[in-house]
Amino acid sequence: MIRGAPNRLGAAVVLTAAAGLGVGASGWLAGCGPTTAPNPFGTDAGSDGSADDGGDGGSFDGGPDADPTLGGPCTVDEQCDDLIDCTFDGCDTEIERCRFLPDDSQCQNDAFCDGLELCVNKQGCLLGEPVSCSDGNPCNINTCDEESDDCLSELRDVDQDGDPDDHCGGGDCDDADPTVSSLEYEVCANGKDDDCDDEVDELICMVPTNDICVDPLELPVPGTYPMTTFAATANYAASCGVTNPTLSRDVVAAALFGPGPLMDVQLTARTLQVDLALALMGQCADANSELSCSPGFLHPAGGRVAKVRGRSLGDTQVQTAVPLYLFTEGASDVTLRYELLPASAQPANETCGTAEPLPPSTPTLASIVGAAVNLSIACAAETGELVYSFDLSATQDVDIYATSTDGDGLPVISLRDSSCALPDDEIACNAAAAAHLYRHSLVPGTYYVAVAATAPTDVLVTLELSPPTAPPADEDCGSAPVLTVNQTFDVLMAANQDDHNTGCLVGGVDAVYALELSQPSDVLIVGRRSQGDVAATVLAMPPCAEPSDELACGLGTLSPVRAQARNVPTGSYRVIAESTAGQPMQLTVLVRPAVPPTIVPFANACGDVVTIPATGAFLQGTTVNAQPDFNAACDQGGQPPGGAADQLLKLVLTQTKRVVFDMQGSAYATILDVREGEPCPGQEVTQGCAAGYYPARSYLDLELPAATYYVQIDGFAGQQGPWFLDVHVVDP
């Protein structure tokens, strides 16, 4: 029911012949039907040449051979509406009949593993066929990974000990026992071939160390100690543990100190890969004496980390030994850091009702070790939080900074209003290595700051107050400046704050601009972020405040981030640029009159290339039945001649243009290769090859002089499948 621009559905779009089948659907497009396309633009919709609009606003029900894209008679686009959201509706002025062209891109749910959704005439969006990752090999465990938009394959490893079954090329001689594999050491005198070398209890073997309470690793002084859970068994339990308990094994340490004054004992464990947990005990082998327990968290530098802190421990008369259980998920080497800190009490400011004052311009240390979870923070803190408060007697600008003192977790800060406790009481939040919250002209009142982290750590928090300032012009959604389309401009962010929460990037500083569309349009928003930042681009409806306002979202750590919306109706919209770190961005909003999808059914080589209009286009096709004709410089090495199956398009420019090619939404790892000159396929242009093995797929932004170009749609490392290509052609 998406209306097209007048006269856009004439004979010039003959390549939409397969509309209604969907890319990759059963039928001639997928190679399951006739080898030539049916004629979609014949003047007779049914086998008897009759037309019946059915009295439903331009719909058409023909005979068994009817073109499903045809509707009733018309003279203008406004007479055509099939009430199907995903079709591009317009009047085919050559035959004066409505035409409803399915646009599969309107149905995509941004999920990879459930397949490519299809738009089908008279039905609407239909679920795609889930991605099948099976290769028929019983030794391979194949899964579809939503994060990478790809199939992952691992050798069979039933006991999940990291060593595949020896029948499948691995070294595990007992794939039902996670303590037996070629990655293990031989354990002395246990009657098992632990290391799968066909010998049992051979001379060179390992005796478990620090495996039980009577044999702990003693930590005589603060410092860093190596430990290992190789040859260890599972002997103890605690209130926390590793993700997969069946793989758990544990060792024991004892932190020694005193006699002397009371001290805090803090222990931090890190692994390079496997999950872990720490439990600090009052008495070894006494489950009821647990003082603190920490599961494993992701460390900002990689691997996993767990941290526990026992507060005000010790004895003035005798040496104190504080037991510790160290759990790992499978065998692993572990680095254990032991610290003695000044005695402290468990922080009392766990809730809004017990918040402590946060004095301005005074760094305050918040120990986020063992803190309980009491508040909901939108920036997805993994730990509990501590709560602070401050009062404003006059309107002021507010800056809140937070950094980790040990780097074991990223700080998370949440600014909350005077009610504090409920999720809706959060004004803004931020999570980053150097977290920062900024608010313009905060009015007098009481405010709260919740401090959390992505892993247990100590966070230094500083509140700074300054005279109130006016917000920049691009801060407010209601009065946002109108942007100039098809031109790149800088977004500085330095004086902006987080105001617009559509759900795309939570906690990001944002700038907002008005986009005025005088006709139905295709919109592509391109944002280039600063190095190391997480950024987003958003197309939204005013007031830019709720997830329901969001029309399109592009989010990521790879630059550029892109948000696409097709067939956007006439009206006023908002373009939002967001940055987690508040760093500068470059923004380009590409707009063209809405165009129907152009289906590319063949275009296998130079003899049947499909021409891209010089004004741009939106194309969709599939390389499943194509042939591997052309190599690409950005393909993975070691590919056979021609690489993956490919299709070929043609673009003729009569003057220098900026051409943006975007393949987001494609169902496989794509390659986009732009070539110049005759004879076909020409020579690859400088920086004209883009491999889209990330979920965002291939993207190119090129300034191309007047010439003939061939655009190669290919697959990375032999992949093939359905694809989308959005082409915007603008002045440089």
Task: Give DSSP secondary structure letters for 341-389.
Answer: EE--PPPS--SGGGPEE--BT--EEEEESSPPP-S--TT--SS--EEEE
Task: Write down the pLDDT at residue 539.
Answer: 98
Neighbours of 110 (CB within 10 A): 10
Map 109-126 to HEC letters. Answer: CCCCCCCCCEEECCCEEE
Nearest CA to 324 out of 310, 314, 311 is that of 310
For 28, the 3-state DSSP assignment is helix
Q: How far is CA 530 from the centre of its chain?
A: 18
C-alpha–C-alpha distance, residues 98 and 70, integer Å: 6
φ, ψ of residue 206 to 5 degrees: the values are -115, 135
Task: Write down the pLDDT at residue 41.
Answer: 31
Q: Are strands 509-517 and 571-579 parallel, antiparallel or unpaired?
A: antiparallel
Nearest CA to 121 out of 56, 55, 59 is that of 59
Residues 696 and 667 sit within 8 Å (Cβ to Cβ):
no
**Is the bond preceding 472 in cis, omega lying within 30 degrees of 0?**
no
Task: Write down the pLDDT at residue 50.
Answer: 34
> Which neighbouring-strand residues pair with 359?
none
C-alpha–C-alpha distance, residues 616 and 585, integer Å: 26
Nearest CA to 292 out of 329, 238, 250, 255 is that of 238
For 44, the 3-state DSSP assignment is coil
Task: Write down the pLDDT at residue 66.
Answer: 77
Task: Write down the pLDDT at residue 45.
Answer: 34
C-alpha–C-alpha distance, residues 407 and 459, integer Å: 9
- Tokens standing for residue 10: 């004439």
The per-residue pLDDT for range 294-314, each reduced to its tens digit, is 999 999 999 999 999 999 999
Neighbours of 32 (CB within 10 A): 11
Nearest CA to 81 out of 93, 94, 90 is that of 90
Nearest CA to 41 out of 603, 616, 596 is that of 596
Nearest CA to 104 out of 624, 600, 702, 639 is that of 600
Instruction: Order the strands of the 683-692 sheet from edge to edge.
Output: 610-612, 647-653, 707-715, 670-676, 683-692
> Which neighbouring-strand residues pair with 402?
435, 461
> Which neighbouring-strand residues pair with 562?
526
Q: How far is CA 358 from the centre of its chain?
A: 35
Cα-based distances in Å from 286 to 105, 238, 281, 516: 60, 10, 8, 69
* Phi-psi label, residue 661: left if phi above 0, alpha if psi -120 to 50, beta otherwise: beta
φ, ψ of residue 310 to 5 degrees: the values are -100, 125
Enclosing H/E stretch for 276: strand 276-281
Q: Is the dihedral of CA 529, 532, 533, 536 positive or negative?
A: positive
Residues 418 and 424 sit within 8 Å (Cβ to Cβ):
no
> What does DSSP assign to residue 162?
S
Residues 336 and 268 sit within 8 Å (Cβ to Cβ):
yes
Q: Please list, in sequence order, all residues whose beta carbon lies within 8 angstroms of the beta carbon of residue 526, skipping any fewer than 6 positions away.
A: 537, 560, 561, 562, 587, 588, 589, 590, 660, 701
C-alpha–C-alpha distance, residues 117 and 131, integer Å: 11
Q: Please list, in sequence order, all residues whose beta carbon lies within 8 angstroms of the beta carbon of residue 36, skipping any fewer than 6 positions away.
A: 28
- Tokens standing for residue 355: 């918040």
pTM, two decimal places: 0.84
- Tokens standing for residue 340: 């003695």
Residues 309 and 343 sit within 8 Å (Cβ to Cβ):
no
Domains of the chain: 1-130 (no CATH), 217-342 (2.60.120.380), 352-466 (2.60.120.380), 488-593 (2.60.120.380), 598-730 (2.60.120.380)
Residues 544 and 576 sit within 8 Å (Cβ to Cβ):
yes
Task: Write down the pLDDT at residue 344.
Answer: 95
**Is the bond preceding 560 in cis, omega lying within 30 degrees of 0?**
yes
Residues 120 and 105 sit within 8 Å (Cβ to Cβ):
no
Task: Write down the pLDDT at residue 604.
Answer: 92
Burial 605-615 (b: 16+ CB within 10 A, else e): bbeebbebeee
φ, ψ of residue 156 to 5 degrees: the values are -55, 130
Task: Write down the pLDDT at residue 136.
Answer: 87
For 11, the 3-state DSSP assignment is helix
Residues 403 and 460 sit within 8 Å (Cβ to Cβ):
yes
The string of DSSP codes covering 457-479 is EEEEEEEEEE---PPPTTS-STT
Q: Where are the alpha helices (DSSP H) in 104-243?
A: none
> Which neighbouring-strand residues pair with 489?
587
C-alpha–C-alpha distance, residues 585 and 556, integer Å: 13
- Tokens standing for residue 157: 């490893």
Residues 414 and 345 sit within 8 Å (Cβ to Cβ):
no
Q: Please list, in sequence order, all residues whose beta carbon lies within 8 angstroms of the beta carbon of residue 129, skipping any fewer than 6 positions away.
A: 24, 115, 116
**pLDDT < 50: residue spans in the chain:** 2-60, 62, 64
- Tokens standing for residue 537: 């681009």
Q: Is the dihedral of CA 242, 245, 246, 250 positive or negative?
A: positive
Task: Write down the pLDDT at residue 65.
Answer: 54
- Tokens standing for residue 595: 């165009």
